Structure 1
Amino acid sequence: MVLKPNYYTVSLALAITAMAASLGIYSSKLFSKSETITLASNSDLTTQSFSTFKSHSVWVYALAFYPDGKTLVSGSYDGTIKIWNLHSGKLLRTFKAHTDAIESLAISPDGNILASSSWDNRIKLWNLQTGTLISTLAGHTDDVKAIAISPNGKLLASGSTDKTIRLWDLNTGKQLSAFEDEDWVRSVAFSPQGITLASGNESGSIKIWQLPSRKVLHVLAGHSGRVRSLAFSSDGQTLASGSADKTIKLWHITNGRTLCSVVGHSAEVLSVDFSSDQQTLASSSYDKTIKLWHVPTGELLNNLTEHSKPVWSVAFSPQGKTLASGSGDETIKLWRIPIAKQPLSSTLSICSNSVNRY
């Protein structure tokens, strides 16, 4: 995937003036009270959620879709897991999974196993057909911040504030290996091919590990704050990272170089995810917003503002047409994500100097 270079640096005022002139719209119509740029010509873009789930009584920290995209799993601050039918909106099952907050969820490619991780230092594997506990993976000595399941469904990776990354056999629950980081591990993600693992830490460093050798292929430096979330594009060529420094960065995996640094959130970026067609990147933040970005250009497509508290997690359905968001306002919202005819604005992204970087 290639990012379109941005050869110019323009001020927000000049960009808006030019855009307004070309559309025949006065600039005052381009701003809402919250100073979010909105263009009536982009009527195909959804700005309102089509469904809201209310059952959690505390912050919703983690989300995961079933492979068929018809069912959603949510995990919350009180250690509770809920399973939802997205078509009917019906709550199918609720169970107390952990003794502390659930930080991360992952579902196996066959849809049979749910993995959950928690502040209680544990990873648990659940039978999704029955809701029963399969096994508890003990090994980490501190909060398990992130988990991911490999594309072939054989491995589970976990990252913890004990400064280790661990690999587990998903079928047996046996720990296969552990490797150390210099700081708390905040995020992990397998490449779609399953041959590399990305990890992000508290210091803002990202490592690309070769599997199964555990050799570090690249150290991606650029963030000035902890890396809260990582996501690979479906072709495995691009990695997105969201950080406490309020930025999202796109990285070229082959050479480890920065493709684009996207600026738009006013607080820590908590979660990022690619749509399946690689055209849209969703990001959520402590600033209570979700932003949708056009991946080829890094331009802002839409700003979703319905949540009243930080949005801890966003996840695209496997088909890429639905985005789910979980928030500190105790709700889960579903959004339809259409294909944009044109980007909303290019002024809130910084993709300059991306020429000849890959």
Structure 2
Amino acid sequence: MKTDFHFSNLLGTVYSRGNLLFSPDGTCLFSPVGNRVSIFDLVNSKSHTLPFAHRRNIACLVLNPRGNLLLSVDEDGRAILTNVHRRIVLYYFSFRGQVSALAFAPSGRLFAAGIGRQIELWYTPSTPDVADGDLEFAPFVRHRVYTGHFDTVQSIEWSSDSRFFLSASKDLTARVWSTDPEEGFVPTTLGGHKQAVLGAWFSKDQETIYTVSKDGALFEWNYMLHPDAPLDAEENDEDMRWRIAERHFFMQNNAHVTCAAFRAESKLLVTGFSNGIFRIHELPEFTEIQNLSISQNDIDYITINKTGEWLAFSASKLGQLLVWEWQSESYILKQQGHFDSMNTIAYSPEGQRIITAADDGKIKVWDVNSGFCVVTFTEHISGVTACEFAKRGNVLFTASLDGSIRAWDLIRYRNFRTFTAPSRLSFSSLAVDPSGEVVCAGSIDSFDIHIWSVQTGQLLDRLSGHEGPVSSLAFSPDGGTLVSGSWDHTVRLWNIFARTQTSEPLQLMSDVLCVAFRPDSKQIAVTTLDGQLTFWSVSEATQQSGVDARRDVSGGRKATDRRTAANVAGTKSFMTVKYSADGTCVLAGGNSKYICLYDVQSGVLAKKFTVSINLSLEGTQEFLNSKRLTEAGPEDLLDRQGEASDLEDRIDRTLPGARRGEGARKTRPEIRVPGVAFSPTGRAFCAATTEGLLVYSLDTGFMFDPFDLDVSVTPATTLAALADKQFLKALVMAFRLNERSLIRRVYEAIPVNDIQIVVRDMPTVYLPRLLRFVAVQAEDSPHLEFNLLWIEALLSRHGRWMKENRGAMEAELRSVEKVVRRIQSELARLADENIYRIEYLITQPREARVEIRKLDFGMEAEGEVVDGSEGEAE
């Protein structure tokens, strides 16, 4: 089995904290998710996460005007410069201070960074310009430093000509600065607000400045003469000053302004408030256009896209991300992650959906291809502890601490069956018979296993035998055996469909945490509290092998740990374990930053995946920094809420004794992996972590293949080969460059008569990629017959080779099988829907059929001749 899995995408979380960005064309939204950046394509309804990761949570994002360079800065002031289109990190840099505001100049030459009370101007990083003879790559060069503010700079806005910029600060003022020394210009301070200024903007003609403060005051500033100046004073006289022309106020009862955004071209001002309401005004008249509520919590950030039609809102307390089209009053994007930590995950049998369940009682269905949450179920009133699919894939079962097992229809998206026990129990484990007829659940309150009938919803039986809470359940894939793990140090094998329901106990040395069946139903994997991972034969009820995984799972030190990460090996264990699709490997995770992949036969650790390097989480660093240790304890755990300057920030609104939920947590969240799952194809796996749902894949999608490349292989030479009708050469060159648009262009340009010739001579090294590409095209493109001809040619010509290399081709063959089945079902449905129409057309005379066909296709009656044979075919 291949083990070179790489990070592919981040689901389960759409926003953490920081600012949002629209791409220059306004079609993509950049959102900081912890220490990573997710990009949401709002037109194609897809999302992906950039592969780099910061060492802390991201505080600021900014894009250059061309949209190809992304500068992201974390809470420590460390920046990463990324090429967005290539998804490549270009440079790492440190600003040596917390960055509170970032903005690129419209010209693209400079960007401004607010670092505490100072503002620094930097030249935009540039690549070597060979034409000018400049061969030096100078990524970050500082231009100027501006001082004058007395508190943190909160926003920076540039003028359209990049000569001036505005800064707004917590010191109740906004200031006007010049990029370079201007004749007669003196930096100007705009004072008059009674609370911190959140934003300042130029009007389109740059003759007016608008400022908004936290207390809901909007000031309009004009460049005018002093009232006491003589009437004959000239405009360039010293009496010209920026002065307040109008004052407007947002009347919200006890709410304050938390964020604001202004679009000079459309004159729209959007403000967000602490009570979850946003308001849209048109300036300078201050005419209110909309007033809507989108949340019960603070709106953290607002941004407007280029056309001014879409507004993006974010709320960190609930992890919400919204894109609103204000003219049509409709949502373009509405996503929200889990409020509490995830407990369990499950792949759908076809591998296109991932289910996540969390302590907040919500069950979310995520689409793997788009990265979006499709539906959220909220019927459970307590934490969801387990979820599992029926074999057919359209029915999902979940277990919850509220004492219910629920069955969900994922076609109609409804809860169609609820199972409960005679007494109130908190269910913690779940197993579903592969036929979907029986569902079993275990509880931490009762030592029995409850069995229900899915058809009737009635409790069929209660299996007794365990002397401790049942922690894990699993059905064998062939449906003949149920395995249960308990805290009583035993694993029991049950044959529940036999006349006598006897169990075979397997004795272990510690509490059982998780059990899993191998796909061939002949072996089970068991993880225990003492850090052991053991493999047992089902037929012989004997242990075949074992792994001491304590050293592998150990790693990461919390700020309160008294021992180093190396010496804490005996206290950690795997909480979850899953077999791969072919049964040769197992994937295990627990309360650690590591996910381990083991080879079953040899017991060797094949690969170790580091879940996160985010220092904002507990347990991600191996060594603690003694400089951060104070007399009161670790600096990261000190509660500095009482030192805040604003009253509402000092008030502690948490309930006494409450620990659940991000909003009530005073300590930092700890890194943990409560669930892992392999995709049915074996080409990917996902892991539920503190930061979200991480997807690792063998097909990273945007990998550049440099093999067999030389200077002659370019997109231009590929298209030239295609124009010369060298179809095989052009297709191979396109695969070498690995640009999807180029491959598709060459693929669709190959004539139907030449498909067999191209497939016959195709090198075997490109067959998996070609088959996978054809399967994707058959799924997305409308060229039905064309794609089927490619599939037929590949399978008929190279079927024997694919059979011999089935292990490497299994994922591709499953994709092709799924596509063909879908096409078959759609064609059958289409024929069933039109059967009466076809019968009616056949019974009509030939002239009537010709007229009907002309009307159907919108053709003119003149000059159209329909062949008799085609008429009969219709």
Partners of 1:88 and 1:121 in 2: how far apart?
34
2:433 aligned residue? 150
Candidates 675, 678, 694, aligned match of 1:333: 694
Answer yes or no: is the 8 Å Cα contact 1:67–1:111 preserved in 2: yes
Partners of 1:260 and 1:108 in 2: how far apart?
30
SS at match of 2:7: coil
SS at match of 2:360: coil
Candidates 586, 600, 609, aligned match of 1:304: 609
Instruction: Give 1:99 shift.
Output: 1.3
Answer yes or no: is the 8 Å Cα contact 1:78–1:101 preserved in 2: yes
Candidates 165, 181, 190, aligned match of 2:475: 190
Partners of 1:177 and 1:320 in 2: how far apart?
35
Normalised by the length of structure 1, the TM-score is 0.78
Partners of 1:79 and 1:85 in 2: how far apart?
20
Counterpart of 1:121, as a letter, is G
Instruction: Give 1:171 shift.
Output: 2.3
1:82 aligned residue? 364
- Distance change >3 Å, CA 89–CA 65, structure 1 → 2: same
Question: Does 2:483 align with 1:122?
Answer: no
Partners of 2:503 and 2:427 in 1: how far apart?
24
Counterpart of 1:277, as a letter, is D
Answer yes or no: is the 8 Å Cα contact 1:48–1:306 preserved in 2: no
Give per-residue Cα distances to partners, 1:84-115, cap 9 Å, x unaligned: 11011111112213111111001111222111
Partners of 1:296 and 1:138 in 2: how far apart?
41
| Structure 1: segments with no counterpart, 5+ residues | 1-43, 341-358
Answer yes or no: is the 8 Å Cα contact 1:149–1:155 preserved in 2: yes
Instruction: Give 1:337 shift.
Output: 5.3
Give per-residue Cα distances to partners, 1:265-317, cap 9 Å, x unaligned: 23121111101101110001112321101111111011111245110001111
Question: Does 2:374 align with 1:92?
Answer: yes
Question: Does 2:480 align with 1:175?
Answer: no
2:542 aligned residue? 257
SS at match of 1:145: strand
1:102 aligned residue? 384
Candidates 213, 216, 223, aligned match of 2:502: 216
Answer yes or no: is the 8 Å Cα contact 1:279–1:295 preserved in 2: yes
Counterpart of 2:680, as a letter, is P
Overall identity of the aligned pairs, in %:
26
Partners of 1:337 and 1:284 in 2: how far apart?
19
Question: Does 2:12 align with 1:46?
Answer: no
Alpha-carbon RMSD across the aligned residues, in angstroms, is 2.0
Instruction: Give 1:152 shift.
Output: 1.4
Question: Does 2:581 align with 1:276?
Answer: yes
- Distance change >3 Å, CA 97–CA 244, structure 1 → 2: farther
SS at match of 1:50: strand
Candidates 206, 229, 239, aligned match of 2:514: 229
Answer yes or no: is the 8 Å Cα contact 2:487–2:510 preserved in 1: no
Q: Which moved more, 1:163-172 or 1:214-223?
A: 214-223
Structure with more helix by fraction: 2
Normalised by the length of structure 2, the TM-score is 0.33
2:766 aligned residue? none
Partners of 1:296 and 1:134 in 2: how far apart?
42
1:72 aligned residue? 354
Counterpart of 1:320, as a letter, is G
Partners of 1:113 and 1:285 in 2: how far apart?
28
Instruction: Give 1:130 shift.
Output: 2.2
1:165 aligned residue? 449
Question: Does 2:420 align with 1:138?
Answer: yes
SS at match of 1:258: strand
Size of the aligned set, in residue pairs, is 296
Partners of 1:298 and 1:241 in 2: how far apart?
13
Answer yes or no: is the 8 Å Cα contact 1:79–1:101 preserved in 2: yes
Answer yes or no: is the 8 Å Cα contact 2:338–2:360 preserved in 1: no
1:345 aligned residue? none
- Distance change >3 Å, CA 228–CA 97, structure 1 → 2: farther
For CA contacts below 8 A with separation 6 or more, give which structure has more relative contact order.
1
| Structure 2: segments with no counterpart, 5+ residues | 14-336, 555-571, 618-670, 700-806, 809-874
Counterpart of 1:89, as a letter, is G
Answer yes or no: is the 8 Å Cα contact 2:524–2:537 preserved in 1: yes
Answer yes or no: is the 8 Å Cα contact 2:482–2:495 preserved in 1: yes
SS at match of 2:425: coil
1:12 aligned residue? none
Partners of 1:138 and 1:330 in 2: how far apart?
33
Instruction: Give 1:330 shift.
Output: 4.3
Answer yes or no: is the 8 Å Cα contact 2:449–2:470 preserved in 1: yes
Instruction: Give 1:224 shift.
Output: 1.1
Answer yes or no: is the 8 Å Cα contact 1:63–1:313 preserved in 2: yes
Instruction: Give 1:47 shift.
Output: 5.5
Instruction: Give 1:206 shift.
Output: 0.4
- Distance change >3 Å, CA 50–CA 223, structure 1 → 2: farther
1:3 aligned residue? none
Partners of 1:168 and 1:98 in 2: how far apart?
19
Partners of 1:233 and 1:119 in 2: how far apart?
28
Partners of 2:573 and 2:517 in 1: how far apart?
20
Counterpart of 2:528, as a letter, is S
2:526 aligned residue? 241
Counterpart of 2:396, as a letter, is L
Partners of 1:171 and 1:320 in 2: how far apart?
32
Give per-residue Cα distances to partners, 1:43-76, cap 9 Å, x unaligned: x743642111112222111111111001111100
Give per-residue Cα distances to partners, 1:227-252, cap 9 Å, x unaligned: 22111111111000122221211001
Counterpart of 2:398, as a letter, is S
Answer yes or no: is the 8 Å Cα contact 1:156–1:170 preserved in 2: yes
SS at match of 1:215: coil
Counterpart of 1:296, as a letter, is Q
Counterpart of 2:432, as a letter, is I
Partners of 1:292 and 1:97 in 2: how far apart?
35
Counterpart of 1:300, as a letter, is L
Answer yes or no: is the 8 Å Cα contact 2:6–2:698 preserved in 1: no
Partners of 2:386 and 2:409 in 1: how far apart?
17
User: Which structure: larger Rg?
Assistant: 2
Answer yes or no: is the 8 Å Cα contact 1:60–1:74 preserved in 2: yes
- Distance change >3 Å, CA 215–CA 63, structure 1 → 2: same
2:591 aligned residue? 286
Answer yes or no: is the 8 Å Cα contact 1:47–1:303 preserved in 2: no
Partners of 2:586 and 2:687 in 1: how far apart?
13
Partners of 2:484 and 2:3 in 1: how far apart?
33
SS at match of 1:49: strand
Answer yes or no: is the 8 Å Cα contact 2:577–2:587 preserved in 1: yes
Answer yes or no: is the 8 Å Cα contact 1:147–1:188 preserved in 2: yes
Counterpart of 2:590, as a letter, is S
Counterpart of 1:51, as a letter, is N
